[in-house]
Structures are given as structure tokens and as C-alpha cells.
Structure 1
Amino acid sequence: MRLGTSLTYSGDPRAAADQVAGWERYGLDVVWVAEAYGFDAPTVMGYLAARTERVEIGSSILPLYSRTPTLLAQTAAGLDAVSGGRAILGLGASGPQVIEGWHGVPYDRPLARTRETIEICRAVWRREVVTHEGIHTLPLPADQGTGLGKPLKMLTHPVRDRIPIHVAALGERNVRMTAEVADGWHPFLFVPEKAADVWGAALAARPAGMAPLDIVAGGALAIGEDVTGLRDLARPLIALYVGGMGARGRNFYHDLVCRYGYAAEADKIQELYLSGRKAEAAATVPAELLERTSLIGPESYVRERIAAYAEAGVTVLNVTPIGDDPGRLLAQVKELL
């Protein structure tokens, strides 16, 4: 397995980049840059490219609805060029609250949109003359514009004609599509012991002959004899996603936790969170879920969790080190991989 970590939405991106440059020496393989409705990820990724030498730099994620497919392709190609072939284009549909609330565009046909975007990006990187009919029609038809649009190909030459594309997906249909066409998959709240039951059929859709699908998963990391209490730090975040990231009936994270076997708890978390009782919602998060979605405990326990992730097919162990010396933690877990 490769070792990865994620930069959060908050904080000073320059200080974070300096940190990542140091972590590179401890064996960090991949750094992921979040966006949501904070700083745009590509700006931070470009700065990271200048501050690092070896680590791969991925977006996690760029929302599909925020940019045209050709702009996504241009952005990834530019990042790949300035990083010397170290870019990973992480894509996702996000959700209607962010897409319609922040970007002001309809949240429609996320699966078809993802598939089309991947097709168009790869055509751009191959420097083909790009034409496409579907949700995205290129060139734009005359009855929808001036009629002056013409088929174009990329002016510049990408470093690679197939930059890795990863997709953040949770639902069965979306995971199946990811297995069929993408290079990597980013689940959330990944429980290794439940992965085969929840996603096994969808992941089996990977076509023969394609390279194995990268699976990026992990959790909070702390190693020691007296650190298990740190698992509780994840309670507010899990409560936010399960309870507040979507309305009733349209919350992918709530549905996932139900599929894991915690339906009663998921319903209660959602009810409490949406009624403003966030602390009670956090207290309701099952201790077993906290344990299984983290790497927090004695070294022997962390070693067992790493083995569980590997058994579940994870190829990039993505961790969030907790403690005063995150570099030391990354070095420790790197030795265990």
C-alpha cells in the first residue's frame, strides 16, 4: 500500500505545503487537497507541486458541476506539467446542498455527468479534436449559441495522455460506474470488514484487462497504549455527515451507515442533528463505527487495522495523523505497510 494524507479546508495552505514537504521525507506517497466551498484546490495543488519533489498530488475532490469537462482536463494537464507527472484528478458529484446552494446549478444526472466528464478529459489529454453529444455537447449547437463554435484540440502537449482519474462515490450505481471507467475510488467512512458486503458486487464490474482499481481509504491515526479516547474526536464529523449532509431521504452518508447495519443509530443521529441537537447526535455515533473507521490504538492494533484495509483491497492508506508530531506517526505507519 501507498501512504496518503489529506489537507483540510481550513488553515494556512502555505504552512500546510511546508508540512507536506517535510512529510515527503517520512515516506508520504500521496497528498489530497479538498475544496468544497473553501479555497479552490488547484491553486493549493500548484503550490504543493513547487514545494515537493516526489509526492503525488490529488484533488479530493473537484465537484463536476463547478467546471466544464474541458476545463477540468486543462487544469489536470497543467498540474501534471508543473508537478512533473504527479497529478491525480479526483472528481465527485458532491451533493445538491453545495452544488445548488454554492454553485447555483441544478444537481442533475450525476452518474452520466461523471462518465461523460471522464471520456472528455481523456480525449483532451490525447489531443484529439473534441466533439461530444450528451449532457455536454461540443461544439455547442447553433440553436443554443451563435453557431460559431468549432471543434478544437488542446493547444499544449500534456506530460501524460492518461492522467489518473479518481472518483468519490458511495452509492452502488456510482461505485459500479467508477469500477467500470475510473482509475481510482474514494469511499468515505470505509469499514474494511463491511466492504465486500456493501460494495463487492459493484466493484466486480471492473472490466477484464483494466489495471486494478486504486482504492483510497483509511482514517484518523494515533499510535500508543493510551490513545483510544482520541477516537471520540471523530464523533462531530461523522454526525455532521450522517445527520446534516443532505436532507431526509437524500443523504448518501446516512444511507451508507444504514447499509453497515446501524440503521437505528443513523436515523437517530439524523433526527437529532437536523433538530439542532448536534452534541447529542455526536454522542449517538456507535463506538464500533468509530473504532472500525480509524487507526487509533497500540501499534499491534494499528498493524491489524492496516491488514484489514489491505485485505479489503485498499491500495492507498489515507490517514489523518493526530498528535504533536505527525511526521513521526507517518514514519511509523509507513514501516507497518
Structure 2
Amino acid sequence: MWTDLLAAYAMWMTMAYLTDAWKLNLKHAAAIVNLFWGIVAIMPVGLQFVVDTFMGYYWMVLLSSFSYIAGLGFLSMLTPPDLAAATATCSAYDPECIGQGQKILFFTALALIAVGFSGHLVSVPQFMADQDSHSNHRDSMLCHLFISFTVIHVPIAGAFAIYYIKPWSMRYGIPAICTLVATLIFLTGSCSYRTYRPYGSPLTVLFRVFVASASKIFQKHPRDSSHLYERRDDYYLIPHTRRLRCLDKAAIILATQPLQQQENNSWRLCRVTEVEETKSVLCMIPICMTLILIGVVSSIGTSFCIEQATHMNHEVGA
């Protein structure tokens, strides 16, 4: 967790790196930075599906950690002074010294760091909760105290230290080394961690409802909703609603096939509860769309505010 904070500080300085080292204009640099943080915000949805369906939280922690190490390592190596000999370019921080290979390496590094950042957001909190639920009260208290100490003090130390670290290779290299050390420490406890097999993703239910309703697009809705398929013995039931009735076709029982045969194919027949869950998710989309304005405002903090703070006069009263 504390290495994630260091890596986040390093990535917040990317705006200054693009404008100072690469000499990009404000709009071009802000577009790159906002695209990166936008991918970081969206990618957890897909990674959560991968975790719940295939990998589990332990392997996602490892995968995202190695992706973090590779991405930060690439960023630390692609500065003009470090790659001048390999790319046959000059070593100054000028646009002429930024070769095509450095640009490819830079965007590759951003993609790897986005996977690492999003993967840790998805896996680390839940993985810690799985370990904490099986530990005693004293160990839990010590763990929370240690986490609180690092979460409070590491950002403060990083905020002061990052200003005095001038070489860009060091600003990205130190988080890469810290992430490598933290990953190796994490691996030492692999034999004692409690892991669980993936139990399936809720997104699979949405996909099944879409596929089942599309396969019965020419079927007529029954007049009585009680004729739709539902397992009455289940303890979790959602009553039928009349909104988005096109999705109700996923729960239509075909008269041409035995019911047991249809129940065995969950991609052709879904429960009313599953259909109603899908309807609820779709009804939340307009609410989520309103958060776009919040994203526009928050993007100023990682672009314009960083640039403003970098070039302002730091002397009080000057």
C-alpha cells in the first residue's frame, strides 16, 4: 500500500515531466495525463471481472505488482540522458532528443502502470480483508495501526522528498525499486495466505440476460408474469417489475422444450430475479453519466494544478 502511494506521487508528476522534459504544450500534456487517469478509473471494472471469473485476488495482486515494476522501470529508463547511447540521440531534455523508441516505451509504460494501479485497487483491499477475517483481534489491531502509520507518514515524506529529487530517472526509479522490494516481501508470505477460488462475476449474469433475451426476441410476453421462470425455493427473490420489458424475454419458458433441458442452459433461460438485477444496473446508467462532470473537475487537479504549482514562485511573500 505504501509503494502505491509513492507510485501515485510519481505519476502525479507526469504532467510536469511532459511539459518540462518533453516540452509539450499544456493541452497535449493534459490530454495524455487525463487519458491515463481515465483508463485507471475504467479498467477496474474489467479487472474485477477477470478476478471473479479466472484469477482470484492473490494472483491479481502479483500480476498488478509486476506490471507496476515494469511500467515504472520503463519510465525511469526512457529519459533522454539514460537512453541517449541506445537510441543514438542527444542527452538533453529537448524535443529533438525524444526518439520514436522513447515514445513507444513511454506509452507502453503508461499502459503497464494503469494495469498495476487498477489491479491493486481491485485486489489489495479485498485480499487484506480475507486475511484479516481469519486473524485474532490483537493481530488485526497491530495491522491496522501499521497501515495507518504508513498511510499518514509516507505521503508526507514523499511530498517533501519528491521536490528535492531532480533527475526524472530517480523520481520514477525509486518507486520502481520500492515496489520490487514490497513484492518480494509479499512473496515471502505466500505459503501462509488464505486464498479462495473465483466464485464467478456478477457481470456474467448481465451477459446471460442479454443473450437469453436476444435469442427469444420473437417470443411474445406472457400475460401473467407468474408464468415467467423463477425458482421459488430460493431465499433471495426480487419481484417482477414492468420496466424494460424487453429483458423479460430472457425468463420466458419455451413450450417446445422440456423445462429441465432449458434450466440446464443458463444462457437461454434466466430467472426473474436475474432479469430484475440487470434492469437495476441499466437504470443506474443515467446516474453514473452525471458523474462525468465530476471527472472533468477532478482532472484539473492532475493537470493544470500540477503545472501551476510547478511554475509558481515558491517564496512566501515574494
Same fold (TM over 0.5): no
Query: So what's the TM-score if we normalise by structure 2?
Result: 0.24
Q: Which has the larger radius of gyration?
A: 2
Which has a greater percent of strand? 1
Larger RCO, structures 1/2 (Cα 8 Å, 6+ apart): 2
